[in-house]
Amino acid sequence: RWWVVLGVAAAFTPSARAQAPRLVYLDKLPPLIEREIFFDDPEYAGAQISPDGRHISFLKTHVGQLNIWVKRTQEPLAMARPITADSTRPVTGYFWSQDGKYVLYVQDKAGDENFHLYAVDPTAALAQDAKVPHARDLTPYGAIQAQLAAVPKKTPGQILVALNDRDARKHDLYRIEIATGQRELVFRNDENIISWLVDLSGGLRLVSRVAAGGGGTEVLRVDGDKLTPLFTLTCDLFRSCLPIRFHKDGRRVYVITAGPGDDLTHLALYDLESAEWERVESDPEKQVDFDGAEFSEATDELVATYYVGDRLRIYPKDPQFTKDLKTVAKAVGDGDVHFGRSTRDDRLHIITVTSDVDPAATYLYDRARGKVDLLYRPRPKLPREQLACMQPVRYQARDGLEIPAYLTIPKGVAPKNLAVVILPHGGPWGRDSWGYHGIAQFLANRGYAVLQPNFRGSTGYGQRFLDAGDREWGTGFMQHDLTDGAKWLVQQGVADAKRVAIMGGSYGGYATLAGMAFTPDLYAAGVSIVGPSSIPTLLASVPPYWEAFKRTFDRRVGDPAKPEDLARLEAQSPLYSARNIQAPLLVIQGANDPRVKKTESDQIVIALRELGRAVEYLVAPDEGHGFAGRVNRMAMFAAIEPFLARHLGGRYQESMREEVRSRVAAITVDPATVKLETLATKAAAAPATFNGDAVQPATLRYAQTIQVMGRVVEERSTVTVAAGNLRGSPVWVVAEMSQSQMGAGTDTVFVDRKTLAPLRWTARQGAAHVELAFRGDSVVGSIQAGPQEMPIRVKVQVPVFLDGRSLGLALSTLPPIPGYAASLRTFDLLGGSTREQRLEVTGTERVKIGAGEFDAYKVEVRAADGSPGGGTYWIERDAPRRVLKAELQLPAQTGGGTAKLELVEAK
């Protein structure tokens, strides 16, 4: 556990570390490029053309943030005008309605990823004193997340949007009228649907969900409210293996899939009537997975396919597109050509061209005139001639597996004895590709070679390469691949073995911490950006709308609810090996990150502080999973470059704008001020592991007062805990007999002797009778009230617990340590579902009750989504650790109210 990490090392203080000597080759580098040129907002970005061809839109800074601007197609850029004015958060994603009347965009608050969808009419008259047209929130439903599902051409005034306002864990599909915001439910998601596919007329035809076991993606046909399974794709959601578009005949659907025995995905057509498959194409070079397809807006025909190997490869399927590609390539020169949105008649196309030294130059291609006109370069001040080349490379891992990677050598110097930064990508289910990479170019300009390995577990290289990363985090082969890459550079003479650092974001941040903890002699420094330090707490704190992905996480990473997995996950977590970290570490975090909670960074900073290690800490209060704000982003790199210069010997820009200087000061956190209590936040807790060996047989008598709907019910009960057997398995039997003015009642739960998870539950109160059995991932049984009987059959995530005396028994086995936090799932009988709860030991108290006076530890249990329920338990601090009293909030389905419990006698 994390507190073991701290141990007696808290007595040490950080030791001074000598600054690395200046790199001898710095004078051979091109001039220092200002960091603002790399990391300030681009002057222009994200161009799109309206479907009717009348307008071109793009992103450009307005009121201090990237906002949407619009101009008429034939107007110069200088004539463009802003149509949004968000001054607190950049607009990063937007699109046009099919009729060209509206621009729609998504926006969250301070990085919380609760995206809402907004619509703005770019031609609307401005209200008095307004600078931009009014933007309407089409999804005004509180802390929800909107996901765009489709923008059908046949219904241009409507869009399909998935919303999780009914259940935070699941998105239901709605059809929304853009002009009014009125919504109509298309499909209620009770099946953990992860994607939706409409036909070319806008009708919902197919949905997908994670298959049982997390080993694939199940595709189902939608027939009204009924779902009919069609097929299961052998590759899971991390391989982009899904139906992508209906054929124009409405009968067949294009699917990215992999057949039996296939390692690489390919494009296929599936006939919904005959259930026949037709292979369309796989990689002609047999290197990588199918990556994508291009379709004509005018004819809906397939016109091109593409693959991402060492570089982008495009394969035209249409004579006109072949001609288009040749025309564009001749006009723009070397680079990877990307076709963006086009007009409905395919006459005008937005084209972006990227290379390793040129970020997304954007053109307007007029097919009728055969003209390719430059619209803009996003960073026109960037001196492209001074940038470094990115080279595809391969190296062998220790087990012989070939690892594809990209190596960037600083311009002007020989690849010999260089300082190096290992830069692993995030995900980890993603990949790096050839092209402009701002961070790599920034580091190369500062004097560092940069290696970007596509370690096993990266996507795009086939099923076997992806599967080779399963459960191989940290101490496994995913991390070994990074280690072997660094050692390969040393063996090749490229790297100075004493000047290798590691830096990354998200999973790359985790890999940074893992590299520092598990290979401490390899790295001279590390920079972790929103990196998790503990895999169990990471998995316990994922957003509720990732519920459908949990099966895949269980397979690819591990299930902390399983003791054997938990032990491995803790061993793979840098937090539990923090004592091994020797090199200086810079930790960077967004306070509102919904994926990697701030707790993840807090706890590694605290551990290193107490161990006397060198650690620096930045926390932006207005950011989430990464720094989107321009000043925050520049402040982050203004802190990174002198940190690396101190420990690798490179150069850095000493000057900075005042707004950046003040922001660096504002987000810099003194590690001495990070409080231990932040380790126990409700949002980041590993699944609770209860200890049945700590239970002792007992007979306990309680007094209980229930207040509900204006009524007060006084109850006396006797609870016995005794060893027993259920179908030959050892159990604890928790039996309660109660008496109140409502009559007598019995409640008996059989729980597993070791885990305390329920196996069987029976309860009677008057004419009401409940009988449930917990079988694997299902709860089955019935509720009977007089002559009425309701069957129960619910799929659940295990382990699942029951509210009541058996839960109190389980809580009494927790470590009585203030700050301990965990999560658990309880079964909601009336709701027919499970509910995620967070528990936390918040402190100790002296309590005086009918049974006497005791020292107790206080446990708070609250619903993870903030809904009513849960309560507070006071548990005896010393053995036998009985529940002394409790104050509980009753569920809304029972009318709400409270229940207060107090121990009056124990035997």
Using DSSP, state whether 682 is helix, strand or coil: coil
Rounded to the nearest angstrom, the gap between the alpha carbon of residue 192 and the centroid of all alpha carbons in its chain is 17
Q: In this structure, how many other beta carbons lie within 10 angstroms of the beta carbon of residue 40?
A: 18
Report the candidate in 407, 437, 561, 456 with the shortest Cα–Cα distance to residue 505.
437
269 close to 253: Cβ distance less than 8 angstroms:
yes
Q: Is 330 exposed, middle or buried (0-12, 13-18, 19+ CB in 10 A)?
A: exposed
Tokens of 732: 């604890």
Kindly name the residue from 625, 738, 747, 823 that is annotated as catalytic: 625
| Beta-carbon contacts of residue 27 (< 8 Å; ≥ 6 apart) | none
Kindly name the residue from 199, 356, 358, 593 that is annotated as catalytic: 593
DSSP letters spanning 534-557: -HHHHHHTS-GGGGGGHHHHHHHT
Rounded distance, CA 181 to CA 118, Å? 10
Q: CA 471, 475, 480, 486 torsion: positive or negative?
A: positive
Q: Does a cis peptide bond (omega within 30 degrees of 0) precede residue 42?
A: no
Rounded distance, CA 428 to CA 346, Å? 37
Active site residue 355: no
DSSP conformational letter for 27: G
Rounded distance, CA 178 to CA 120, Å? 10
Q: Does a cis peptide bond (omega within 30 degrees of 0) precede residue 428?
A: yes
Residue 167, H or E segment: strand 158-167
114 close to 168: Cβ distance less than 8 angstroms:
no
Q: Is 451 exposed, middle or buried (0-12, 13-18, 19+ CB in 10 A)?
A: buried
Active site residue 625: yes
Q: Is 543 exposed, middle or buried (0-12, 13-18, 19+ CB in 10 A)?
A: middle
- Residue type for position 705: T
Buried b (16+ CB within 10 A) or exposed e, 632-656: bbbbbbbbbbebbbbbbbbbbbeeb
> For the sheet containing 146-150, what is the strand order?
146-150, 158-167, 170-177, 183-187
State phi, psi for 26 to the nearest 5 degrees: -60, -35
Rounded distance, CA 828 to CA 865, Å? 14
Tokens of 507: 């999973």
Rounded to the nearest angstrom, the gap between the alpha carbon of residue 657 and the centroid of all alpha carbons in its chain is 33
N residues, the chain: 907
Active site residue 778: no
Q: Helices (H), strands (E): how many in the chain?
A: 14, 50
Rounded distance, CA 349 to CA 343, Å? 7
First to last CA, the chain: 34
Q: In this structure, how many other beta carbons lie within 10 angstroms of the beta carbon of residue 584?
A: 23
- Residue type for position 31: P
Rounded to the nearest angstrom, the gap between the alpha carbon of residue 490 and the centroid of all alpha carbons in its chain is 34
Q: Does a cis peptide bond (omega within 30 degrees of 0) precede residue 243?
A: no
Using DSSP, state whether 676 is helix, strand or coil: helix
Active site residues: 506, 593, 625
